[in-house]
């Protein structure tokens, strides 16, 4: 039995233990994220690049990944009044383990601290352990790609962790407030609840409550701009009054959290300044209204083609280039000076232009469209050409980025299936085009190392109306060339029309063919369907095509669209993984809405 702690040393021992368990919790979480990056991101990248022309060389490891992916299937639950939720067993197990660790650390080594009642000792320990979440909350929302590059976890998933670390911390702080208040009231000293340090603590607690409440989806949908401002203001108030409440025991966590955000913001501003200064137009960008609810933004850059860089450069900011599928945070000072909104780059770096297809919703996008109209731009221009480019509106725009797109190297797969729903093609199209350009470039020099020389590539795009094709005419022109060469097939599903006569796409997109011009309807391997896509059938067809009794093949499914659309794709990929003859199936999705 351990010797009891001398009474006069107990306050110091208690503080040391509280600090130990606070940072031990923080360290355990960091190790877990690091292991995830090694096992599920970095090792697969390395093994995929070592494949032969006909097969992966390490089927056992990818069989292990297949088993893990079966735990990642999302299950939909609907709760009346609250809506639908998707739950992953792997995430449930992860958070159960995390909560168990938090609970154990909150109760460990408190029995021999007797100079205070056990209730108050536990209350103080809970507050310290909960503070381990504070740096994690802020590191999950840094915009630069340090965390995503290390772990392979997408920004939207990091945002999920940000919210749940925050809610876990709020729950533990609430327990701390209840236990500490009960202690002082039980002693008959209610005055201890109204002294300045305690008042500061209640202010921090109230600010934290408002931060958590405003993070619910219905609040963000109702008033997103208010949510952004509120988050910044109350986050500052919370951190400040946490220090005022107990600066001795909270300084480390608060200082680390603040420095993470400050360094990230400084880097973003520096890169944004560099982009603006090096731009041939000094940040002046063109804005064009494509239809009633869609805006095209073009930012000219002295860009150079993106290429896979040294591994350590993945963690550094990029300028004058970007990886296909990355996004930036765009600011238009004439619309909203301080607001930065994320938009996917719908073009590739070889073009020398960043293009953004922006769907008009509420808030910033609606004000942007109104600003363009107030500058005299035509409301709708399906027949845009070089002769009426003067109709475009020129506004100053800055951006921070690029960020994201931490997918596996697609060139290493035997088949790649792209899905896009509506404006989600802003991700799928450039990633597909970049892959085809890379294949063509490497084929020209007979470089077949680590890849299949003739992969099967298909693109499925679901849109409401055939007129929506005009959104991406700048990239469809290039994709159509690969369709003519037989390297790509495109299926366009028009879901709210019955025939093609409602809009003549020949005015929007054409492909040069031996001096003549043909519409995209006439391009080989491009098919239009006036129905909803049969996602299950498309994925199963590709899986069956790759079944091979002698070679271990691989298939990538890449999608961007609403959550429900992506969930259908993920569910079908999981279903196909149960087939032991199926290839290795890698599924990467980006969501909006």
Question: pLDDT tens across 535-579, in order?
Answer: 999 999 889 888 876 778 889 999 999 988 988 898 899 888 888
- State how far the Cα of 89 lies from the Cα of 72, in Å rounded to an integer: 6
Only one residue has tokens 């509420």, namely: 362
Kindly report, residue by residue over 499-521, the tens digit of the pLDDT.
Answer: 654 444 444 444 444 444 445 66
Which tens digit of pLDDT belongs to each residue from 36-72?
999 999 999 999 888 888 888 888 898 888 888 877 7
Distance CA 533, CA 460 (A): 8
On whether residue 260 sits in a domain, the answer given is no
Give the pLDDT score at 220.
Answer: 78
Domain edge (last residue) among 162, 193, 224? 193
Residue 158, domain member (yes or no): yes
- State the pLDDT at residue 515: 40
CB 419 within 8 A of CB 559: yes
From the list 20, 34, 29, 30, the residue with the least C-alpha distance to 101 is: 29
Tell me: do 427 and 398 sit in the same domain: no
User: At 377, which CATH number?
Assistant: 2.40.30.10
Q: Please compute the mean of the pLDDT values over residues 100-111 and round it to a whole number.
A: 91
Instruction: Enumerate residues 6+ apart whose C-beta is below 8 A from 220.
Output: 214, 227
Same domain, 51 and 143: yes
- At residue 504, the pLDDT reads 45
How far apart are the C-alpha atoms of 297 and 283, rounded to whole Å? 12
pLDDT of 426 above 90: yes
Give me the CATH number covering residue 502. 3.40.50.80
Q: Which two tokens stand for residue 523?
A: 């391009």
pLDDT of residue 90: 82
Looking at the fold, whether 306 and 417 belong to one and the same domain comes out as no
Beta bridge partners of 492: 461, 528
Tokens of 453: 């020389």
Q: What mean pLDDT is predicted for residues 369-385?
A: 68
pLDDT attached to residue 432: 94
Task: Please say which residue of 193, 227, 256 terminates a domain.
Answer: 193
Q: Is omega for the bond preceding 402 within 30 degrees of 0, making it cis?
A: yes
Going by C-alpha positions, the residue among 329, 380, 391, 388 that lies closest to residue 354 is 329
pLDDT at 549: 66
Is residue 111 predicted with pLDDT exceeding 50?
Answer: yes
> Which segment of 12-16, 88-92, 182-186 scores lowest on mean pLDDT?
88-92
Q: Token digits for 273?
A: 């300044």
Q: Which residues pair with residue 399 across a beta bridge?
A: 330
Whether 253 is covered by a domain: the verdict is: no
450 close to 49: Cβ distance less than 8 angstroms: yes
Are both 355 and 433 inside the same structural domain? no
| The pLDDT value given to residue 484 | 87
How many CB atoms lie under 10 A from the CB of residue 339?
A: 18
Provide the domain limits for residue 418. Answer: 410-591
Residue whose tokens read 């460990």: 108
Pairing mode, strands 398-403 and 327-331? antiparallel
Residue 510 phi/psi, 5° resolution? -140, 160
Least confident of 29-43, 143-157, 412-426: 143-157
- Please state, for a pLDDT cut of 70, what percent of the chain lies above it: 89
Number of structural domains in the chain: 3
Q: How many CB atoms lie within 10 A of CB 516?
A: 8
**Contact (Cβ atoms closer than 8 angstroms) between residue 328 and residue 402:** yes
- Quick one: tokens of 134? 């504070």
As given in the structure block, the two tokens for residue 65 are 């990944």
Instruction: In whole angstroms, give the CA distance from residue 160 to residue 141.
Output: 10
| Angle formed by the axes of helices 563-577 and 535-546, nearest 10° | 30
> Are residues 78 and 115 located together in one domain of the fold?
yes
Residue 304 lies in a domain: yes
Give the separation between CA 210 and CA 202, rounded to whole angstroms. Answer: 12
How far is Cα 357 from Cα 560, in angstroms, rounded to an integer? 14
317 compared with 436, residue with greater pLDDT: 436
Pairwise CA distance, residues 301 & 282, whole Å: 9
In this prediction, residue 387 carries a pLDDT of: 47
Q: How far apart are CA 168 and CA 25, in angstroms?
A: 13
* Cα gap 174→400, rounded to integer Å: 37
* 321 and 423 together in one domain: no
306 and 349 in contact (C-beta within 8 Å)? yes
| pLDDT higher than 90, residue 216 | no
Show the beta-strand stretches assigned E in 389-433: 393-396, 398-403, 415-421
Same domain for 351 and 443 = no
The reply to whether 265 falls in a domain is no
456-463 sheet: strands from edge to edge: 526-529, 489-494, 456-463, 415-421, 554-561, 584-591
Query: Quick one: which of 458, 407, 450 has its CA closest to 588?
Result: 407
Q: What's the pLDDT at 398?
A: 84
22 and 165 in one domain? yes
Q: Return the structure tokens found at 290.
A: 């494509």
**Sign of the torsion angle spanned by Cα atoms 297, 302, 308, 314:** negative
Closest of 493, 368, 370 to residue 424, by C-alpha: 493
Residue 519: inside a domain: yes
For 364-387, letters b (16+ CB in 10 Å) and e give bbebbbebbeeeebeeebeebeee
Inter-residue contact 284 to 297 (CB < 8 Å): no
Alpha-carbon distance 538 to 527, whole Å? 14
Residue 441 and residue 536 in one domain: yes
Helix, strand, coil content of the chain in percent (nearest 5) = 55, 15, 30
Question: Long-range contacts made by residues 197-203, C-beta under 8 angstroms, separation at least 24?
Answer: 197/244, 197/245, 197/246, 198/245, 200/241, 200/244, 200/245, 201/177, 201/241, 201/242, 201/245, 201/246, 202/177, 203/237, 203/241
Residues 390 and 418 reside in one and the same domain: no
C-alpha pair distances (Å), 552 with each of 179, 223, 305, 413, 540: 58, 50, 33, 11, 17
Question: How far, in Å, CA of 364 to CA of 381, rounded?
Answer: 22
Structure tokens at 559: 């999608």
Q: Would you state the structure tokens that stand for residue 27, as one six-digit string? A: 């360290």
**Same domain for 470 and 378:** no
Residue 199 within a domain:
no
Same domain assignment for residues 88 and 116: yes
Q: Of 143, 174, 193, which residue constitutes the final position of a domain? A: 193
330: which strand partners? 341, 399
Q: How far apart are CA 124 and CA 94, in angstroms?
A: 26
Other CB atoms within 10 Å distance of the CB of residue 445: 7
**Residue 2: pLDDT band with limits 50, 70, 90:** low
275-300 tens-digit pLDDT: 777 777 777 888 888 888 888 999 88
The answer to the question of residue 478 being in a domain is: yes
Strand order in the sheet with 284-291: 353-359, 294-300, 284-291, 393-396
pLDDT band, residue 310 (cuts 50/70/90): low
């Amino acid at each position: 039995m351990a010797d009891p702690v001398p009474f006069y040393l107990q306050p110091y021992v208690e503080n040391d233990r509280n600090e130990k368990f606070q940072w031990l919790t923080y360290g355990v979480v960091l190790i877990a994220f690091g292991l995830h990056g090694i096992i599920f991101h970095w090792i697969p990248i390395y093994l995929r690049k070592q494949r032969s022309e006909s097969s992966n060389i390490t089927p056992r490891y990818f069989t292990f990944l297949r088993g893990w992916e079966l735990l990642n299937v999302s299950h939909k639950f609907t709760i009346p009044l609250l809506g639908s939720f998707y739950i992953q067993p792997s995430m449930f197990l992860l958070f159960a383990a995390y909560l168990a660790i938090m609970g154990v650390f909150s109760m460990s080594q408190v029995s021999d601290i007797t100079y205070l009642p056990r209730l108050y000792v536990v209350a103080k320990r809970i507050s310290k352990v909960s503070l381990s979440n504070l740096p994690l909350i802020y590191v999950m929302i840094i915009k630069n790609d340090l965390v995503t590059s290390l772990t392979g976890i997408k920004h939207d998933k990091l945002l999920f962790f940000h919210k749940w670390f925050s809610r876990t911390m709020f729950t533990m702080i609430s327990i701390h407030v209840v236990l500490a208040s009960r202690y002082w009231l039980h002693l008959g000293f209610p005055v201890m609840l109204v002294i300045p340090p305690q008042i500061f603590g209640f202010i921090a607690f109230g600010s934290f409550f408002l931060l958590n409440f405003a993070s619910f989806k219905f609040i963000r949908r109702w008033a997103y701009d208010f949510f952004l401002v509120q988050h910044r203001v109350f986050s500052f108030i919370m951190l400040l009054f946490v220090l005022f409440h107990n600066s001795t025991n909270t300084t480390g966590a608060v200082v680390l959290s603040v420095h993470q955000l400050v360094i990230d913001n400084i880097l973003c501003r520096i890169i944004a300044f560099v982009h603006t200064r090096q731009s041939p137009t000094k940040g002046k960008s063109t804005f064009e209204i494509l239809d009633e609810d869609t805006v095209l933004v073009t930012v000219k850059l002295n860009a150079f083609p993106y290429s896979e860089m040294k591994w350590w450069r993945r963690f550094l900011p990029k300028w004058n280039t970007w990886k296909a599928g990355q996004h930036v945070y765009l600011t238009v000072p004439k619309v909203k000076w301080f607001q930065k909104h994320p938009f996917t780059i719908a073009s590739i770096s070889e073009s020398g232009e960043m293009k953004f297809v922006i769907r008009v919703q509420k808030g910033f996008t609606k004000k942007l469209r109104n600003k363009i109209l107030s500058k005299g731009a035509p409301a709708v221009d399906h027949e845009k050409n070089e002769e009426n480019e003067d109709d475009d509106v020129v506004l100053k725009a800055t951006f921070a980025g690029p960020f994201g797109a931490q997918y596996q190297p697609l060139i290493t797969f035997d088949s790649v299936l792209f899905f896009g729903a509506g404006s989600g093609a802003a991700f799928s199209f450039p990633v597909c085009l970049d892959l085809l350009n890379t294949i063509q470039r490497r084929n020209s020099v007979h470089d077949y190392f680590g890849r299949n020389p003739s992969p099967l590539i298909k693109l499925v795009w679901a849109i409401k109306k055939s007129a929506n094709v005009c959104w991406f005419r700048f990239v469809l022109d290039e994709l159509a060339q690969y369709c003519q060469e037989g390297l790509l097939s495109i299926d366009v599903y028009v879901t709210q029309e019955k025939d093609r006569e409602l809009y003549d796409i020949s005015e929007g997109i054409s492909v040069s063919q031996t001096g003549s011009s043909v519409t995209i309807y006439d391009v080989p391997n491009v098919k239009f369907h006036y129905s909803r896509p049969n996602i299950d059938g498309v994925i199963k067809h590709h899986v069956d095509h790759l079944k091979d009794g002698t070679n271990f093949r691989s298939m990538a499914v890449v999608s961007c669209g609403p959550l429900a659309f992506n969930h259908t794709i993920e569910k079908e990929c999981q279903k196909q993984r149960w087939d032991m003859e199926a290839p290795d199936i890698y599924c990467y999705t980006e969501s909006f809405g």
